[in-house]
A and B are shown apart, each in its own frame.
Chain A
Amino acid sequence: MDTPLIEFRNVTKRFNGRTVLDNVNLSIYENQVTTIIGKSGTGKSVLLKHIIGLLKPDEGSILFQGTPISKMKKAEWEGHRRRIAYLFQNNALLDSMTVLDNVAFPLRQTTDLPKGEIEKRAMKRIEDLELLEAVGKFPSELSGGMQKRVALARALVTDPQIVLFDEPTTGQDPIRKNMILSMIIHYRKKFGFTAIMISHDIPDVFFISDRVIILWEGGVGFEGPYEDALKQNVPMIDEFLRSLDGFEDQLTGLLSREAFKMHYSAMLGSAAREATSSAALFGVRLNILSEALGAQAALEALKALGEYTNRYFNAVGGFSARRSRDEILTIFPHKNLEEARKLVEDYSRDLEHGVIDHIRDIASGNSGEATCFDIHIHAGVTEISPEDTIDEIIEKGRAKQEIISTYRCDFGGNDQ
């Protein structure tokens, strides 16, 4: 792998004799989303503050592109630091300024841009974060969620190359949580910044993370891709991840990853199993929906799809969970594969009334008139054998995935 963008070497930090970071070694790479998780008080925010220089390590060193920060000249470090933006856990908005002034503040203070250009850029970010109605208000007049979005707008207004997000989705409802995460991903793709994030929003945060760092008892318990974290057989990490993962996916109302696993084990263990089971892996291209409808509406659509799938397959004894940002895995009983396919076909036919009408309402609500776009529903139906692990089922489902339905706005229909 390349030289890490930021590297911690044996970093130790103490506050009043209490060791918060104990000999921490970790690497953060460019153009990746790295998520830091850990129990409260394990030093996650302290770690982020070391990256931007708000705190200095008591022992060890922090390297920026291979050079220790402590050995950099002030101007060199300032140059690097200006590429970094920080979103504080408590937002840290300047409370004597309006939303517009808060967002425009970094540009006013650190650039020589004309006044009009500064206002234009600030308004663009305000618009992106759906804060237009709050533009002249003071932070104390806003809800916690809106304050968080103002802080996010301020962090992104300078188009930073590295953004440190200290719990960016705290205090948001599930739709907005996912919207913020979608936006982080959107901006990361657009501007190519490196994101370092503290978040506990499982599963969504893991769907967008390239690497996960788990802080455990002052040190790094795990560092690597999330899938690898799940494969680790470290009881403490396993227990911690399970404690974060509730029983329900907040956005869609589907089962959480852990709950899905338990349901699957129970199903396999059921002695009185009369029917065989099939799995269907449904997919919808969230990015296309997002481009057509906007991030929030796309997430509303995904939520509707999840709720509908849950209702439909629960009625026949199935259960479902989200496996990636836009893939839903459903396991349901059937007598034979033909019956399973028929069930999925019926599902896709009824989908128009259950979900597509809802999406059409969102689309016309957003633009004032119907927006034309395609929604492809993919499905891969496969039979399950008792030895199959969930990952193997997903692989089999993915291999068989095909477009089962395409809906267009102008129609009403279903070009199956």
Chain B
Amino acid sequence: MKEYYEITEPMNILVSFFSAIGRWTIRAVGNFGAMAVFFFLGFVNIFRARQISEITNQTYYIGAKSSLIVMLVALFTGMVLGLQLFYTLVKFGSVGALGSAISLSLVRELGPVLTAIMITARAGSAMAAEIGILRNSEQIDALYTMGVDPIRYLISPKIAASIISFPLLTAFFDLIGIIGGYITGVVLLGTNAGTYFYRVQSSIDMVDIRGGFIKALVFGAIVSCICCFQGYFCHMRSDGFGAKSVGLATVSAVVISCVMILVSDYVVTSFLM
């Protein structure tokens, strides 16, 4: 006869399953908490002395140097939107609404999201890799021993630069995207130019622009925090050491950032609506 406390085979699988979920949850909550503290320290240290030049450098690297790629993506996004929406609207006889459809899609959603994803791919991965290498070569420890707070010196300027760059690049994205839509909708497919720009102007309210910028700010904070956090603690990864840990940290930084951009996009949108 089986004892009442004996764990049977199916029970065993169930226990393992829930244990794994429990472990994952505890680790995820712990990481989330650590990331929140990390962001707080990084943000507070933006306002310390000797930060201006480093913030300027980082803004140049994260913002200015990403502008070309962001504008290129914006142009083709606008063009493809123009193409798709034109043929959709033709079916309903509302081609005149092309300007409204393109501009609202870009300003409210596509601008902030695609800009954030492009910067994550270009600058976020570089942030994680750079900080990871500094960590592995003990340069972060060296900063500490020299009396320099590594979070102030390395992390805060990147957070500040991201918060500055994301909204600015989003604005560029929106503008170039609308021009892209103009190229396909007006120049190639023959929609009236006046109607297109009139619709753009009349359909976008300040609320839409403000909403897009709020999203860009949130994405900037999230992406910089995740990428820096992954690099900064790459030496504590259980799945790899040394150069491998830097590679894994970079992958995690990009993947988690992209997922979090989309998750936070939904959350922010639901608050704004």
A binding-site residues for B, Cβ under 8 Å: 49, 52-54, 78, 81-82, 84-86, 88, 90, 92-95, 105-106, 109-110, 154, 158
Contact = CB atoms under 8 A, between A and B. Distances in A.
Interface string B141-157: 11011111000010000
B148 A54 contact: no
B196 to A, nearest CB: 47
Contacts of A105: 146, 148
Nearest to A164: B145
Contacts, number: 48
5 contacts: A52-B144, A53-B144, A88-B142, A92-B138, A106-B146
Interface string B130-145: 0000000111011011
Given A86-B142, A109-B50, A109-B153, A95 B137 contact: yes
B147 A109 contact: yes
B140 to A, nearest CB: 9
Given A109-B50, A109-B153, A88 B147 contact: no
A52 B142 CA distance: 11
Contacts of B144: 52-54
A110 B141 contact: no
B147 A92 contact: no
Contacts of B147: 78, 81-82, 106, 109-110, 158
Given A109-B50, A109-B153, A52 B137 contact: no
A92 B50 CA distance: 22
Given A81-B147, A86-B142, 4 more contacts: A78-B147, A93-B139, A94-B142, A158-B147
B103 to A, nearest CB: 42
Interface in B140-183: 141-142, 144-148, 153
Interface residues of B, number: 12
Given A109-B50, A109-B153, A88 B146 contact: no
Contacts of B138: 88, 90, 92
Contacts of B148: 105-106, 109-110
Interface of B: 50, 137-139, 141-142, 144-148, 153
A121 B139 CA distance: 22
Question: Which 8 residue pairs spanning A and B have beta carbons closest together?
Answer: A92-B142, A86-B145, A92-B138, A106-B146, A109-B148, A110-B147, A82-B147, A92-B139
Contacts of B146: 85, 105-106, 109-110, 154, 158
A90 B136 CA distance: 11
Nearest to A94: B139
B145 A84 contact: yes
A49 B144 CA distance: 11
A28 to B, nearest CB: 17
Contacts of A86: 142, 145
Contacts of A53: 144
Nearest to A83: B147
A404 to B, nearest CB: 48
A54 B141 contact: yes
Contact of A85 (B141, B145, B153): B145
B122 to A, nearest CB: 18
**Residue among B137, B139, B144, B145 with most chain A CB within 10 A:** B145
Contacts of A154: 146
A84 B146 CA distance: 8
Nearest to B238: A16
A84 B141 CA distance: 13
